Amino acid sequence: ARDWFPGPEPRRRRISGRIVDGVPAHYGAHPWLVDIRLRTDSGRTMHWCAGAVLSPNLVLSAAHCFKHSPNASELVVRIGEHRMQTRDIYEVDFDVEAFKVHQGFDADTFFNDISLLKLRPIRNHGILFNDHVMPVCLPTKEDVYAPGTSCVIAGWGKTIINVHQLQSSVLQTAAVPLYEPGQCEQPWVYGYRIKRGMFCAGHVDGGMDACHGDSGGPLVCRSITGNFAVFGIISWGEECGLPNRPGVYVKVQEYLDWIANTEVELL
């Protein structure tokens, strides 16, 4: 299974969402965040990626988490997760009934890095929402997110740059600002590697960042009209918390039609 772990990638891509220079989150502060886990040969599960609850039966995540097409039966979605090593009061594990990776996903460029997972019901129901577990809103096509807007990411993982360790035992959170249009395409940042449907967020001087770990987790922003929504999906980046090496995210607004059509297919 580790052959397709979403860590080391081509072209020095060290992907995803362990939160560097973040702070511990309060339980319930990110009620839409889920822990996507992989069943191991021993029958236990290990943290794999992250995702965001869209409805009682659907979870949004990144395509590269599933690029080698594991069977849905190998995946578990844990809702209400906060402390990795302790069972939390609202924690529930759901089997994955099916998942769909964007048909145009390119594993070399990370173009179209988006996927949807359908959960298998438990006793004929999907996720039961409460103050600690609830869905995230999708943006509308008309929502505008201004450059410099401070958005929120969260995940489990290392919290200090250049220190090798396993996942943090407690969910970490950090705020990252949206880059100016065209800034990420500059040659001293990522240049031509930024494709349509991608955007950057992070601090130009480095520091707080989403790096190697929780791919697929949501970046949640407030639009200029005040609506909170999942504006991005943690996709890729280089190294971790370095100057001019921001996190790269999937622009969810570009995929609203795909999400709607795929939801119909899965449900």
Q: Does residue 201 surpass a pLDDT of 60? A: yes
Active site residue 215: yes
pLDDT at 14: 37
Q: Where are the domains positioned within the chain?
A: 31-135+256-266, 150-253
CATH no. of 150-253: 2.40.10.10
- Catalytic member of 30, 61, 82, 113: 113
- pTM of the entire structure? 0.87
Query: How sure is the predictor about 15, in pLDDT bands with cuts at 50, 70 and 90?
Result: very low
CA distances 224 to 51, 136, 143, 145, Å, are 25, 18, 8, 6
Q: pLDDT tier at 87 (50, 70, 90 boundaries)?
A: confident
| Given 30, 47, 64, 102, the catalytic residue | 64
Residue-level pLDDT at 107: 92
Give the lowest-confidence range in 85-89, 99-103, 128-132: 85-89
* Residue 49 clears pLDDT 70, i.e. is over it: yes
Q: What is the pLDDT of residue 22?
A: 52
Which pLDDT band holds residue 215 (cuts at 50, 70, 90)?
A: confident
Give pairs for 119-122: CB < 8 Å, separation 24+.
Answer: 119/56, 119/57, 119/58, 119/59, 119/77, 119/94, 119/95, 120/94, 120/95, 120/96, 121/57, 122/92, 122/94
Q: Annotated catalytic residue: which of 16, 115, 168, 215?
A: 215
Token pair 């179209």 is found at 112
CATH topology of domain 31-135+256-266: Thrombin, subunit H (2.40.10)
Give percent of the chain above pLDDT 90. 54
The more confidently predicted of residues 4 and 159 is: 159
Which region among 56-60, 70-74, 80-84, 219-223 has the lowest average model confidence (pLDDT)? Answer: 80-84
Question: Do 31-135+256-266 and 150-253 show the same overall fold?
Answer: yes
Other beta carbons within 10 Å of 235: 28
